[in-house]
Amino acid sequence: KNEVEQSPQNLTAQEGEFITINCSYSVGISALHWLQQHPGGGIVSLFMLSSGKKKHGRLIATINIQEKHSSLHITASHPRDSAVYICAALFSGSRLTFGEGTQLTVNP
Amino acid sequence: DTAVSQTPKYLVTQMGNDKSIKCEQNLGHDTMYWYKQDSKKFLKIMFSYNNKELIINETVPNRFSPKSPDKAHLNLHINSLELGDSAVYFCASSQNSGVGDTQYFGPGTRLTVL
């Protein structure tokens, strides 16, 4: 069983919708990363957070340490946001463990 | 300028062969990583080096041997390739191996073992 669980696995939205992707982890972590993998395969780091909330453009990431849960929100979604979004938790010993990813498709 | 580069981008080879994948970063980072992404798109860490020293070595067959000639390079050599080694291999780097360090990924190397 993976120590990092993401939901949903697949998500289809209409352009303009507000999107939430969830990530939960089993034990205490040092930090949590959100990554975006483009259809072409390239991986980009979106956020690294250990507490609170971060915002970059239309993307917002939050983390609740007590509940061992993080969310990635996309406001005013656009077809170019279509990608796989992956959360990864940094456990002790600098070991980054990945969730299975959420395939997001935003239709025009 | 490419921050983290990998060569080759595609590698097709026969079972039993030995092959290498190279990774270079020009970001001045101290830590480099190798990840494997399987056919289900699941990423898993394989190795991590900090200043040429191995710091993470997950449960990986010893047919896989990373080599770091200097802190800007982390190569992955695979002996006696098997069908199950087919995957996309990603290299990444970060300033350090600590909490606050964003990882920068290379473009990936798609390995196909026939």
Residue A83: pLDDT band (50, 70, 90) is: very high
Residue entry with tokens 């070595």: B57
Q: Is B25 on the interface with A (CB under 8 A)?
A: no
For residue B74, which of B40, B103, B113 has the smallest C-alpha distance? B103
B83 or B100, greater pLDDT: B83
**Tens digits of residue pLDDT in B2-48:** 699 999 999 999 999 999 999 999 999 999 999 999 888 888 889 88
Distance between CA B31 and CA B73 in Å, rounded? 10
**Tens digits of residue pLDDT in A16-35:** 999 999 999 988 888 899 99
Q: Is the pLDDT of residue B101 over 80?
A: no
Distance between CA B46 and CA B24 in Å, rounded? 17
Q: Which of residues 28-67 of A touch B (CB under 8 A)?
A: 30-31, 33, 35, 37, 41-45, 48, 50
Chain B residue with the nearest C-alpha to that of A39:
B41
Note the pLDDT of residue B97.
67
Residue type, B84: G
Task: Please state, as a whole number, how many other Cβ atoms lie within 10 Å of the Cβ of residue B83.
Answer: 9
For residue B18, which of B109, B81, B88 has the smallest C-alpha distance? B81
Note the pLDDT of residue B32.
92
Strands B4-7 and B10-13, by their bridges, are unpaired
**Tens digits of residue pLDDT in A45-80:** 898 888 899 999 999 999 998 999 999 999 999 999
Note the pLDDT of residue A90.
84
**Tens digits of residue pLDDT in B38-88:** 888 888 889 888 888 887 777 788 999 999 999 899 999 999 999 999 999
Note the pLDDT of residue B99.
59
Using CA of residue B4, residue A54, residue A69, residue B97, what is the dihedral sign?
Answer: positive
| Cβ contact A33:A87 at 8 Å | yes
Note the pLDDT of residue B59.
75
Note the pLDDT of residue B40.
82
Note the pLDDT of residue A2.
63
Q: Is A3 on the interface with B (CB under 8 A)?
A: no
Note the pLDDT of residue B98.
64
Q: How far is A7 from chain B (nearest CA, A)?
A: 14
Note the pLDDT of residue B58.
75
